[in-house]
Amino acid sequence: MKFDVIIIGGGWAGCTEAEKLAEAGSKVCVISEGLSLASVRYETPYSRHAGLQKAGVTVLRGDRAERGIIEDGKVTGVITRNLGEGEPLTADRYVLATGKFFSRGLLSDKEHIWEPVFGADVDYDPDRTKWFSQDFEADQPFMKFGVKTDAKGHVLVDGKSIVNLTAVGDICNE
Amino acid sequence: MSAKEYDVIIVGGGVTGAATVRDCALRGLSTLLIERGDICDGASGRNHGLLHSGARYAVTDREGAEECIRENRILRRIASNCVEQTEGLFISLPEDGLDYQANFIKKCREAGISAEAIDPKEALRMEPAINPNIIGAVKVPDASVDPFRLVDAHILDAQRHGADILKFTAVTELVKEGGRVVGVKTSKGDIIRAREVVLAAGIWTAGLAQAAGVKIGMMPSKGALIIYGHRVAKMVINRCRKPANADILVPGDVVSVLGTTSDKVPVETCDDMHATPEEVNLLMREGEQLVPCLAQTRIIRAYAGVRPLVVADPAGDGRNVSRGIVLLDHETRDGIPGLITITGGKLTTARLMAEMATDLICEKLGSSARCETANKPLPGSEGRVPRFKDPFNMRAAIGRHGTEVSRMDFVKGGEILCECEHVTRAEIAYAVKQFGVRNISDLRRHTRIGMGTCQGSYCIQKVAEALAEELGDSSRAGEFVREYLQERWKGMTPVLWGDTLREAEYMHKVYKNEI
């Protein structure tokens, strides 16, 4: 099945983007694992998912984008956990809206922070002691980490712009 | 100026001071304990929570090992609600060889510690999480002990036998008259007199003694530890080799504690102990040798404490310095009567340290009272726990506080506030009443609030509101939340990656706009 836009992440930012695109008449698919931090505070994404479905958006609830396929500087498909390797989802355009650490949009170990779906370039300090401020109430550097984009908003992978991939919400760096 | 003269003043409210004030009170001496912070706020609350069988010391320190096994048996009896009888395993990895194990078993048995060699396959069946490459295992009677509860129980018993406890009051100097120590001056400006003053302030003892003209060579030895968010093993897991870094994993309540390191640190740093990222790296590297799944287990906190080792040889890293009990009679040692120091030792041997100190005090005061602490159960372990009709919400409280639950009001306070550890409102009210809790940090030491898997992330708002109400000032709840989060943050930052970083983002999103 081919979409105009696939949005990876069905939290606050992904839903907002999907609503906008659906209203403009695009054929949209949202892949939502269901881990959304903004919804802890505000509104469960499920109530918004129902609205999206009414507006004709395909919402894959409980599914997760495992891996993006990139060929010649473009995303050509996304493999999801439930559909598997044999059935990649394809679209003209892809939007990364997977959030930061809580929702596993960014993964980390002692030395690294990475974006697991596309391997997008992440803006962070390699020195772990610089990831935080000792004062809990101060601005925390890790809250500003995110994927790098070029001037047009295209996500960078290995320093190269991916022309049909953008990012919205917490996954973006500041 | 206080009119009352005590028989004994004890300086320091860690496990050593608490055990000593209890012993003195049971022997009928009028006793005051002075602590600059809260009870169990120093090294006594910053350790493994390991009740040593003595096996760890059997090869290098026979006397220490014998003391441990004796005290281990006593504490299982008198502090049953503080001790979890987990038993312990000493495992040998291929690089350790089995020569050490053979000698280890022999030395354990010589010290009276049961040490049973177990087939590696059987050991893996007992503890599936340990390194599957083990070539040997020995079972010993190690156990897990809650240091906070143990110290609290001593303090309660002392108070119930007439002792006074003065918290949040520092001793600023020792008062001398004609060369004799006759009392102490406190941070509140009072002078309190006593016939004997006992220094039991751990690493902070040396400074006090020095001001009175007594030199005690002490060497602060820092030990860093990591708390993992699950119990990955049922037993205490040790490495069967010469004692080294990060070779003990202790299960306690719902978590596991890995440690420790041993590094000489300047005395000035002892007031602000925290684990560094380098220490965390080292602990993790070594700990994963012991129990490989620790690499994937969520770390909830890293912290550090400081051992009050007494210098025999100022060189070295602290592991070879005496960890034995040091009792100093400053009358015979330095010509200063009225002053005694009790230090060194271990959490496991605190009762014995207290007995030795109190024997000396009684000798000085001309009392013939005998030590009873080895036979009298502590509060919480006194007989049978009362039965409740509906014990579900009290089950954890009963496990923690034993017979003390009869002093808690579960009709009014049956609500469970901390869901990880099932801490009830009744326990908060009890802690406020019995221990003079002033804030959340105090509350953590006297209940297990916020010490479980969620580390307070879900419950702290509720807990703060309940505490503020118990203290009679609801407006303070916000201040409590802020204080708690900063303290939690200190424990998280050294391990801020993976799931801990996920939790950090959650905490910031949920609480930051609220505070």
Helix, strand, coil shares of chain A, percent, nearest 5, are 20, 35, 45
Q: How far apart are the first and last CA of chain B?
A: 43
User: What is the Cα B324 distance to its own chain's centre?
Assistant: 17
Which domain covers residue A118, as residue numbers?
A: 2-171
Within-domain flag for B384: no
Å from B467 to nearest chain A CA? 22
% of chain A residues with pLDDT over 70: 95
CA angle (B476 as vertex; B470, B480 as ends), nearest 5: 90
Within-domain flag for B315: no
Cα distance between residue B494 and residue B482, in whole Å: 20
- Of residues B207 and A45, more confidence is placed in B207
What mean pLDDT comes out for the span B221-236?
Answer: 94
The answer to whether the CB of B503 falls within 8 A of the CB of B456 is: no
The answer on B397 and B261 residing in a single domain is no
Size of interface A-B (CB pairs under 8 A): 60
A39 interaction partners in chain B (CB closer than 8 Å)? none
Residue A45's pLDDT is 66
Residue B389's pLDDT is 67
Q: Indicate the DSSP class of residue B107.
A: H
B502 interaction partners in chain A (CB closer than 8 Å)? 101-102, 104
Within-domain flag for B193: yes
**Is pLDDT of B268 > 60?**
yes
Å from A106 to nearest chain B CA? 9
**Is pLDDT of B391 > 80?**
no
**Residues A41-99 pLDDT 10s:** 666 667 788 899 999 999 999 999 999 999 999 999 999 999 999 999 999 999 999 99
The answer to whether the CB of B85 falls within 8 A of the CB of B135 is: no
Please check whether residue B234 touches A, CB under 8 A. Answer: no
What does pTM read for this prediction? 0.88
Q: Identify which of A100, A109, A143 has the shortest CB distance to residue B497.
A: A109
Å from B2 to nearest chain A CA? 41
Residue A47's pLDDT is 78
Could you tell me the CATH number of the domain that includes residue B166?
A: 3.50.50.60
Within-domain flag for B53: no
Q: Is the Cβ pair B493, A142 closer than 8 Å?
A: no
Q: If you average pLDDT over each of B135-149, B267-281, B316-330, B442-456, which comes out highest?
A: B135-149
The answer on B245 and B188 residing in a single domain is no
Amino acid residing at B78: I
Sort strands B299-310 and B339-344 into parallel, antiparallel or unpaired: unpaired
Number of folded domains that form chain A: 1
Within-domain flag for B373: no
Within-domain flag for B71: no
Q: Identify which of A37, A38, A128 has the shortest CB distance to residue B277.
A: A128
Q: Which of residues 446-485 of B touch A (CB under 8 A)?
A: 482, 485
The answer on B358 and B227 residing in a single domain is no
The answer on B357 and B334 residing in a single domain is yes
- Smallest CA-to-CA distance from B162 within B33, B35, B30 is with B30
Token duo for residue B76:
């299982």
- What's chain B's average pLDDT? 92
Residue B1's pLDDT is 47
Residue B228's pLDDT is 93
The answer on B502 and B406 residing in a single domain is yes
Q: Categorize the per-residue pLDDT at B333 as very low, low, confident or very high, splitting at 50, 70 and 90.
A: very high
Interface ipTM: 0.94
Cα distance between residue A49 and residue A44, in whole Å: 9
% of chain A residues with pLDDT over 90: 84
Token duo for residue B306:
């400081």
CA distances to B56, B75, B128, B278, B280 from B285, in Å: 21, 33, 20, 11, 9
Number of folded domains that form chain B: 3
Which domain covers residue B490, as residue numbers?
A: 392-510
- What's chain A's average pLDDT? 93
User: What is the Cα A159 distance to its own chain's centre?
Assistant: 18
The answer on B174 and B185 residing in a single domain is yes
CA angle (B47 as vertex; B124, B200 as ends), nearest 5: 145
Could you tell me the CATH number of the domain that includes residue A157?
A: 3.50.50.60
- Of residues B399 and B7, more confidence is placed in B7
The answer on B337 and B249 residing in a single domain is no
Q: Identify which of B281, B284, B502 has the shortest CB distance to residue A102.
A: B502
Please check whether residue B296 touches A, CB under 8 A. Answer: no
- Smallest CA-to-CA distance from B496 within A62, A128, A92 is with A128
Query: Which run of H or E residues covers position B183?
Result: strand B180-186
Q: Is the Cβ pair A100, B505 closer than 8 Å?
A: yes
% of chain B residues with pLDDT over 90: 73
